[in-house]
Amino acid sequence: MVTAPYMKPAGASGIIELRRLLTERFPQARTWAESAPLKTPSFLPTGLPRLDALLQGGWLKGAVTEVSASGPGAGSALLLRALLRQSHRARQWMALIDGRDSFDPAGVEAPVLSRLFWVRCQTAEEALKAADLLLRDRNFPLVVLDLKINPAVQFRKISGATWFRLQRLARQNGTPLVALTPRAMIAGAETRLTLESRFTLAAWPLSEEGLMGQLKFELARAAETGVVQAAG
Amino acid sequence: MFAVIHLPDFQLQAALRLEPELWSQPVALLEEPPAKAVVWQMTEPARQAGVVRGQTATQAAARRSGLLIKSRARAQEQTVAGLLLQCAACFSPAVEATAEGVCTLDLKGLPLEGEPERWAQTIIDSLARLQLQARLGVGDTPQIAALAARRARPFLRARDAGEFIAALPLADLEPSPDILEILQLWGIRTVGGFLALGRENLAERLGPEAVELFERAASRQARPLHLAVPDETFAEAMDFEPPVETLEPLLFVLRRFVGQLARRLEMVYQVAAELKLHLDLSSGAAWERLFLVPAPTSDVETLFRMLQTHLENVRTDAPIVALRLCAKPGRAARHQFGLFEAALRDPNQFHETLARLTALLGPRRVGTPLLEETYRPDSFRMELEGLVAPRPDEPASGADDPPPAGPPLRRFRPPAPAVVEMRSERPALLRSGPFTGPISRASGPWRASGQWWDAQGWAREEWDVQTWRGDLFRLARQDEQWFVDGIFD
């Protein structure tokens, strides 16, 4: 009896054959095994020595890092500006998906801005679609998704599958996705940081270095690279 | 030595070039004389079914059910004629557009002595990639090469001109039907037999037409070629009948167009730097769009996606009756990634992403912000230039200005209207969408104004405030109206 390849009994050779057939028929598709985390983790430096030390080198490439900043004056925009400066220093592009069109370019020097690709969204839904496109694009070494001041009602419409899809895209393309959120909401985030700063009007006289010195972050969840929880 | 490239059934090949699958089906092409449309050329399945030249469409359809009747595609014929010349010019500097579907090449000086068969096969293969079936003949004169091309399957070299000519059937000289009938009645079947009759005898009995035939067959003098310069434009065109109303059939044709253009460009070692898409609408209007290829390429997928991404968001007022796609050739970008420079790795992919983002968010929503030369708050414009090729890091306007004091501002766009109660000339209570409550600390006022000399003049007063909850807002008063500009974070 002649057996078609897709009717072979399950087994190691059958699975290999099935994978081969799937790869031939659907070259764009990837199996979970193929998209598994890199064995040797690779990091993109954040430009902040304390944060790099906390994250064991920087943003984990191919992973989602959630930075939740719940309180007022937590410093998420300050962190954003620091990331932009680091991209400028490294002569790399940074994609900023601005979920509420709130980024203020006036606070950043013009040469630094020249390394920013700014996507100005109005809603979280738009921002997630833009993140999907930019992660597929693979041109940007760092993609930042800023949902810090999006209304809570917009988050209720986001299904968990959306975050998993973004996570899978980031993994496939080796791009670090940094999501700034008002509260912890990404269940599958490999790394989660919380910003604990509380800036007040008293911080106004401080220089940039002084402000950065007051930026406090805590590692709430570490990626599976042997990082132990610590405070920054 | 000369070579002739011959495209048999030229008009049929032109009509079916973008639908090669039709060659395996019965198809008849109609010639359209002023009086009556008759079958002129047909595919092999149609020929086997008994469809012959000169039948009317009705007679042909009666021979074979399911016979597809097609009219001549003039736009495609022009395209194929130009394409044949472009292809020929890739193999010889001296080419002549001899007739429809016939191109003559002067091989003088070309190093072909050893392997003309392989050389000919390269030309035939090149045309086959462009969906054209070619025959190629080589001979000492253009006339002999042309006769060899007609006999070629697909290549024939007439080594001994006299012997080759003598063995040819008489019909290959294309005499008039009357002359041919007379000669056949005399038992003359080949050109050799015809030549044996002698020039004077033929002139005496059959007149000047026979003499002209004799001269053509007996001549061993190479006529000078009328050299042609191939067109620099690379275009594909098609008329739709019936008009196209949806995107799918348009994309189907466009994909084939892009594939053909990419192959044609590759043939001349160039890539597409620009694509111009032109649509003629049934209303008489036209729609045109120029696509600049960020990193010139001949990759079919990249070029097609560029068109597809844009067309997905295009709505025309009327159905499309004709399509024309032109490619402007350019050199492939030689981009070397510097040791310290990280530019976009795939500009074409980014171009597509940009188009999709623009479709999602609208124009001026994506790009790089460029600060305006003004002190008016939140004044910037979005730039797209410099994204593909990074700008040099030159200090621009405001580069030396220190960053504003305090943590960065997250702006509300547009600013949120607010009601502010003042006590002792300082903000004490804020009522707005983002926040309502007492203000615990306030810093200000900072006054700014500009463009007082024209109608765009502005003047405002700003306060940085901290609410009892800890939120840090920027308040602004302009024209006696309060706004919350944003929140510090």
CB contact under 8 A, A201 and B380: no
In A, which residues are within 8 Å of B409 by CB distance?
77, 104, 106-107
Q: Taking the CA of residue B105 as centre, how many other CA atoms within 13 Å lie in the half-sphere pointing to its CB?
A: 26
Same domain, A9 and A43: no
Q: Decide: B485 and B409 in contact? Cβ < 8 Å.
A: yes
Query: A113 is written with which tokens?
Result: 């801005």
- Whether residue A76 sits in one domain with residue A137: yes
Closest residue to A117, CB basis, from B368, B398, B404: B368
Measure the CA–CA gap between A45 and A192, rounded to whole angstroms.
16
CATH 1.10.150-classified regions of chain B: 161-218
Structure tokens at A107: 């606070």
Predicted pLDDT of residue B162: 86
Tell me how far apart the alpha carbons of residues B250 and B277 are, in angstroms, rounded to a whole number.
12
Residues forming CATH 3.40.1170.60 domain(s) in chain B? 2-157
Same structural domain, A15 and A101: no
Tell me whether residue A94 is in a domain.
yes
Nearest chain B Cα to A196, which residue?
Answer: B489
| A163 Cβ under 8 Å from any chain B Cβ | no
Q: Is the pLDDT of residue A10 over 60?
A: no
CA distances from B291 to A144, B308, B333, B346 (A): 29, 11, 17, 17
Chain-chain contact of B341 with A91 (C-beta, under 8 angstroms): yes
Judge whether A183 lies within some domain. Answer: yes
Whether residues A109 and A73 share a domain: the answer is yes
Closest to B346 in 3D by CA, of B309, B301, B382: B301
Q: Which of A169, A177, A92, A134 is nearest to B354 (CA)?
A: A134
| Whether A77 and B488 lie within 8 Å, measured CB to CB | yes
Which residues 98-127 on chain A approach chain B with CB closer than 8 angstroms?
100-111, 113-121, 126
pLDDT at B170: 86
Q: Please answer whether residues B382 and B368 qualify as being in contact, where contact means their C-beta atoms are separated by less than 8 angstroms.
A: yes
CB B453 within 8 A of CB B468: no
Distances (CA, A) of B2 to A44, B127, B139, B168, B451: 64, 19, 6, 19, 76
On whether residue A176 sits in a domain, the answer given is yes
Does A211 contact B at CB distance below 8 Å? yes
How far apart, in whole angstroms, are the C-alpha atoms of residue A46 and residue B391?
Answer: 23
What is the interface size between A and B, counted as CB pairs within 8 Å? 179
Question: In this predicted structure, what is the pLDDT of residue A6?
Answer: 42
Q: Output the tens digit of pLDDT for each of chain B's 489 residues.
A: 899 999 999 999 999 998 889 999 999 999 876 667 889 899 999 999 999 988 988 899 998 888 999 888 888 898 899 889 989 998 898 999 999 999 999 988 887 666 778 889 999 999 999 899 999 999 989 999 999 999 999 999 988 888 888 899 988 888 888 888 999 899 998 999 999 998 888 888 888 988 988 888 887 788 889 999 888 788 898 888 789 999 999 999 999 999 999 988 888 888 898 899 999 999 999 999 988 887 788 889 889 988 998 888 888 889 999 999 999 988 776 555 544 445 677 787 888 888 888 888 987 899 999 988 888 889 999 987 666 555 555 444 444 556 667 889 999 999 999 999 999 989 999 998 878 889 999 998 989 888 888 888 889 999 999 998 889 999 999 988 999 999 998
Identify the domain containing residue A90 by its residue range: 38-221
For residue B345, what pLDDT is reported? 74
Q: Rounded to whole angstroms, what are the CA distances from A138 to A38, A62, A88, A141, B353?
A: 17, 11, 18, 8, 10
Same domain, A60 and A17: no
SS3 content of chain A, % helix, strand, coil (to 5): 35, 15, 45
How far is Cα B481 from Cα B421, in angstroms, rounded to an integer?
12
Structure tokens at B455: 């109608």
CATH number at residue A123: 3.40.50.300
CA atoms of B154 and A73, how far apart (whole Å):
79
Fold entry, domain B161-218: DNA polymerase; domain 1 (1.10.150)
Which pLDDT tens digit goes with each residue over A59-72? 999 999 999 998 88
- Report how far residue A10's alpha carbon sits from residue B454's, in angstroms, rounded to the nearest whole number: 80
Instruction: Count structural domains, chain A.
Output: 2
User: CATH code for B2-157?
Assistant: 3.40.1170.60
Nearest-Cα residue of chain A relative to residue B355 = A133
**pLDDT recorded at residue A1:** 38
Residues A91 and A164 in one domain: yes
Is 0.80 surpassed by the pTM of this model? no
Task: Please tell me what DSSP assigns to residue A63.
Answer: S
A22 lies in some domain: yes
Does the distance separating the beta carbons of A203 and B470 come in below 8 Å? no
> What is the pLDDT, as a whole number, of residue B114?
64
In B, which residues are within 8 Å of A121 by CB distance? 361, 365
Which H helix or E strand runs over B149?
Answer: helix B142-151
Q: How far is CA B272 from the centre of its chain?
A: 8
Among candidate residues B108, B438, B132, the one with its CA nearest the CA of residue B260: B132
- Whether the CB-CB separation of B213 and B188 falls below 8 Å is answered with no
Q: What is the pLDDT of residues A44-98, one digit of tens each?
A: 999 999 999 999 999 999 999 999 998 888 999 999 999 999 999 998 899 999 9
- What percentage of chain A carries pLDDT values higher than 70? 85
